Structure 1
Amino acid sequence: MKTAIVYASTHHGNTKKLLDAIAAAYEVDLIDAVKIPEKDLNRYDRIGFASGIYYSKFHQAVLNFAAVNMPQNKQTFFISTYGGKADYTSIEKALTAKNSVLLGKYGCKGYDTFGPFKLMGGLAKGHPDEADIAGAVAFYKEITEEK
């Protein structure tokens, strides 16, 4: 089964660290939604969406990409990094009409200096750490193993 992960990782590369580890262990195509706003995803069986959480939302480039490019009836999964807490509401809304099957969600802390957090020196320093990265790889393995 072919897998693509559509992502945005703009500030500290937190999300990209997780995805690079997954891509090193498994055959996946990484699509940077900031650089590639449109792509035909029909040839993929599974499509992941990954982003940092910005004011309780996925990055706008990922949300726009999902709204424009997501085919009907695909398996999906979500990966996020965050300073505060995980929130998948925005990406779930973007996929509501696509009849996708959600395989799972993975989130972990990520170093965050966005907005007011910069004044305090940031949140979640040192994250994602090795355990967070290993957790992302284990999550991907779990949702993609043939049952």
Structure 2
Amino acid sequence: MSSFLIICKSIHLGNTLKIANEMAKILECKVLEPEKVEAEDIEEAEVIGLGSGIYYGRHHTSIFKLLDKYSFKGKRVFVFYTSAFRKVKFLNGCEDKLLNKLRKHGAEIIGVFQCRGESRLLGGVCKGRPDERDLARAREFAEKLKKKFS
């Protein structure tokens, strides 16, 4: 049985943490903030989820710093995020920078999950998101990972 770990940075309204917690229930794993991760956490996990809200078109800088601090070579990694805006590839390919960096570090990308998340910074966009449908989708995503990698 694979061991799972979720690393999540969720700042403003806790949108991404809601998604991380739903996934963690299914994967039966802990959720850590990037700053709390230790080398043994990475070494012991066979499957790692990296997630955050989207800040200025990309994942939080603490996620990127984690990749510079620890080896992800050979690790199975999934990426997740919440964003107030729809994904439009040429405007905000939000996960591209993170996926490219993971590949450069030798990680195996096994999936990407994204959903909308409320933002009050722009006067209230996507109020009530993630909603129950989003949380159900997160659980389904985690179920597929668990089935495939356990």
TM-score of the superposed pair, with normalisation by structure 1: 0.87
Percent of aligned pairs with the same amino acid: 26
Amino acid at match of 2:83: Y
CA contact (8 A) 1:38 1:68 kept: no
Tell me which residue corresponds to 1:99.
106
Give unmatched runs, 5+ long, in structure 1.
Answer: none
- Match runs of 1:115-134 below 5 Å: 117=122, 121-134=123-136
Q: Higher helix proportion, which one?
A: 2
Runs of 4+ in structure 1 off by over 4 angstroms are none
CA contact (8 A) 2:103 2:109 kept: no
Number of equivalences: 141
Question: Quick one: higher RCO (CA 8 Å, sep 6+), 1 or 2?
Answer: 2
Tell me which residue corresponds to 1:112.
119
Give unmatched runs, 5+ long, in structure 2.
Answer: 88-93
C-alpha distance in structure 1 between counterparts of 2:36 and 2:97, whole Å:
20
Tell me which residue corresponds to 1:54.
55
Residue 141 of structure 1: how far off its partner (Å): 1.0
- Match runs of 1:1-147 below 5 Å: 1-33=2-34, 35-36=35-36, 38-40=38-40, 41-86=42-87, 87-114=94-121, 117=122, 121-146=123-148
What secondary structure does 1:108 align onto?
Answer: strand
TM-score of the superposed pair, with normalisation by structure 2: 0.86
Residue 6 of structure 1: how far off its partner (Å): 1.1
CA contact (8 A) 1:7 1:50 kept: yes
CA contact (8 A) 2:27 2:146 kept: no
